[in-house]
Structure 1
Amino acid sequence: MFDDSPAAMLVVDPADRIAAVNDATAELFGIDRRAFAGLPLDLFVPPSSRNAAAPHRSITADGRTLHVRVLSKPIPLAGRAYSMLYLRDESEAIKAAEQLAETQRGLYRIARATSLGQLGSSIAHELNQPLGAIANYLGVAQALLAGQTPQVAPANEALGDALRQVFRTAAVLRKLREFVARRPPTLQWLDVHALMEDVVRLAHLAVKESGAQFEACIDRGPAEILVDAVQIQQVLLNLLVNAAEAVENRPSPSIGLRSWSEHPDTLTIAVEDSGPGVPLKEDRDLFAPFQSTKAEGVGIGLTICRSIVEAHGGRIWCDNESTLGGARFLLSLPRRDA
């Protein structure tokens, strides 16, 4: 059993000299089996490494570095206290761990090198929506004032909406800066209806160019949600813009915004569309960086959405169970009765 064992084993006498080794030990250290007899054990395994938690580092006769874990057990032979040592070579495992650590350091360096580009993509993505709304409102105001009979009152209303979007753009920039700095969102208990009404107004602008029919079905029960209003509005607007792009050139394009409460402490909000749906694969995370279903998409928007929602203690996910036949994006947020 000793000679034929695939495990490296040594027998050590009471004076800590090697009495015998098996073939596995000779192969491990690259030394002829007979050359071990009478050598001090310390040449191969110092006392501090016996039964130690960490592997012992040793250099073999042919220059290889070994990392060996040692287990020592006493065995009585001819009335004397001998020891049996079992050696387990962990060199490959340690080498693999070191290679993994180096790979992770390399990925970190790559992430640092690309972070500026990612930030630029994030800023462009987040500002595109409010700036587009400003352009729409100003265009409406210009059209109302350009006719033979200028319509001052509705033009002023459109200009007021544009001004609100300017302030919203500034708020988005501030929140994006806080997001990049990894600062927690400023959470407040806000009325669900007031927040959703603002989103509905913005949604009409977001879906206007797509020609889609827009329907909002908001839970009218008195409730408050714990949110940073600007960030959550930005998440919902991002999902609505994605929905508008998904239904372009589709027959009978439709987009829906719905909210309901399945549990007393949670509000669920869904954005759905009549588009082609999204490819849901086990090996693909739509919310991971640089994952996009669009030919020209950078895959940043949904990543930011998930980060924002999770910072609110919520959850965001996607399925193809839309009542309109396309994709459905859902988020759940903490709520309470008002």
Structure 2
Amino acid sequence: MPWVRFDDQFSVHRKVTGLSDAAFRLHVSAIFWCARNLTDGVVPEEDLEDVCARVRSPKRFVAEMVRRGAWHEIGTECDSEDCPAHPDNAVTNGVTDGWVIHDYLEFQPSKARVIREREENAARQKKWREQQKRKRQNRNAVTNGVSNTASNSAPSRPGPVPSRRDGGSVGGHVQEISQSARAREATRWITDRYRLTDQEAGQVIAVIEARAAKPITAWVPYLERMADQGHLADIVAAVMATAPPTDEPGPADHEPAEPPEPPPHRDRTPAPPPPPQLAPPNPDAYERGPALARQLMAERRRARAQAVQNGTEP
């Protein structure tokens, strides 16, 4: 729908200011009606009643506007090139009975111009919609490609999160402490199962580490499997056979030692203890390991039973 334009001098123009109220209303309504119906300022007589329903008997006010020069009867020529009544315009479109609005084409667009602008706007909007459609298709294609690539690719392995307890990156230090804790747990497990000292258990762990094909991370399950297969008893027997004799009293001949004082509190976790020094292995001990282990275990049981009978068991 086109816009209707009025000059700011419209209401005080000589041809308009002398109109009556009803004629002025009919004149303005006729301009809107012509723009809405694309008649190029032509008002057919048969449509006059529909131009303005508020004006009764509009034909008697048309004579007033024709007399003032605001309207022309069809067939009357006008010298103004912007008037539909000019001979070069020929906008009556076969209408023989009716009127034309003077200088209508000076301020209002013609029918041909309105249709041309509508077609241009429609083509421009169609082109814009097609561009937006292609952009959405390309964007969806890129999004689907990235989603498929991300879902099909293997997830990246996150790196270790460093601890900030010491004010820096201490990931390696934390791993070292964890390995030391597992080694201590393995030492306690061996001492409880075979009643060895911490030094003897450390030697057993050192032998196991030397024989292992790769670093051991889960010590207790690894030791349980070796014990079920009988390999752990052989290593314990070999370590006991190669251990140097000591004059220290056994567990049944000495009083329980006082618990050591706890170390002073420090912000940093202490470094793990150094690995125990192993005695040079005896090749003969590995050959007679199982029998020697059973013999040592039997002697320990007899010594313990004798201590119980004598009442000297701690």
After TM superposition, is the score higher than 0.5? no
Structure with greater helix share of residues: 2
Structure with greater strand share of residues: 1
TM-score (norm. length: structure 2):
0.20
TM-score (norm. length: structure 1):
0.19
